[in-house]
A and B are shown apart, each in its own frame.
Chain A
Amino acid sequence: MMIDPLSVFILLLGAATPILFAALGELVVERAGVLNLGVEGMMITGALAGFAAAHASDSPALGFVAAAIAGMAVSMTFAALTQFLLSNQVATGLALTLFGLGLTALFGKPYEGVKAPAIMPGPLGLNWMIWLGMALVPLIWWFLTRTRPGLILRAVGENHDAAHALGYPVRLVRILAIGFGGALAGMGGAYISIATVLQWTEGMTAGAGWIALAIVVFAQWNPWGVLAGAWLFGGVTVLQLRLQAAGVAVPVQLLSMAPYLATIIVLVLISARQKFGRSGAGAAPASLGRPFYALK
């Protein structure tokens, strides 16, 4: 039985969009040297806020705007704690996830069983958010590699002490990056509630935020890699379901481990390449996860 690759690809684009948004946001955050494990918490916040706004205004577009604002707002908790109060990023991120999941479950009660307005289809039958997600990839790549603010952001992520010595506002750059990451995670979450499911249910992001974190690593902190990673992770799910539908016996559990194992392998390869001195390309930002404090 043949499976039409184009149809798989189209399904994949939709499945990949929420994780693509969240992973692109996290990429920028990590490039600035910050590890925010709260992606899931920000996504679910965006999912609720976006859904509520879309429902109230009857406009999916407004929903996504609201989701971005809400995602950014909760990410500011993380920013305040890690940047001003210098708290541990791993623990703060986990707390953000816990907090986001709980808070949305509480405040989402009135929206249970309510339907969202339909999202407008864009060119080629794909909605505008799919297009926007793909457009963000070159934009972020261009920003990071071809613009001065992008260069500063990367400098901050590679060596915050040196960046500070050069007079760059390390803390401000990181706060902006965290806010951007929050906004994109929020939009990714809203894609699930507004475009995929058309309904709000608590816990509906169901681990997508963690997949986004994996994708950033898989991508070697490169936007194009994020696109490939989102397609791979989305693709494995879509493909295994598609194979099942076509009547092929699929070892589902084993197959669904594959993207995570692939991520580990990629991580090992890039780390090894760097360690054995060939090239530092694709390695983790050197200051990733380390707190910065200016001694003066």
Chain B
Amino acid sequence: MSTSPTENEMQQPSLSVHGTGYHGWALWMRQTLAILQLELVKNFWGRRALLLYLIAALPVALVSMLSLLPPDADEMRELGRLSQVFAAIYGGLILRTLIFFGCAWVFMNLFRGEVVDRSLHYYFLSPVRREVLVVGKYLSGLIATIILFGSATAASMLILFYGLLPAEASAYFLSGIGARHLLTYVGVTILACIGYGAVFLIVGLFFRNPIVPALLLYGWEWLNFLLPPGLKKISVIHYLHSLVPVPLSEGPFAVLAEPTPAYLAVPSLFIFTGVIIFLAGLHIRRMEISYAGE
């Protein structure tokens, strides 16, 4: 006896909802995209996005000011030294502070913000696997931070070089190593968003008050230069520093350690992120919402 197409279609939803077989993956992808779409609107147009825009605009404003009012020093007149100036701005301001706080803001709010808004139960009541929710929300945060901080990094570098040395900058970016440096900086920014995003996603999920762990993380990442080589590897900043095209001295008190090569640093960050997302997925399956006390 042959099964009619109508009966087949009716069986599909049960397969999809339980996530077995091809249809499960297709459904999860669709649901991830739907969550992504919803969350992207919140990340870019929500009231909380204002602070993110402000953070991302800070380095651009700073280098614009530097281009308009350059200090009377050789650093601003030589291409080689200007790339060191940008490396200092990138390492000291963009990477260590702005991306860190920006990611903390976005990724901690993915779940904590929903709890505060008392809207997480809408997601939990809909027929979506919670792991799918984690992935969808994480990807939305990732896209928002990558777009904002990636653009801020690229814009800062271009404004600095073209603003101070327009003639040399054209040659530097179009036929020199400038384009490679620019892409590397943007790449490091993307990796920073991936790494810090995963850390703050899990912090936001596990801790009711994520401020203290965020503060401890900030201290750990800042004091990384003082840590012994073994401990340096238990941080995101160590791998990111290994990848920046113009390495800077970390000062006289820094404990020197071999930078991790790119072929190890990049996969390490991806593996770390994968493990964190997996843990977040495990945690959220048992998560119960309590809006009291928020």
Is the pairing of A and B real? no
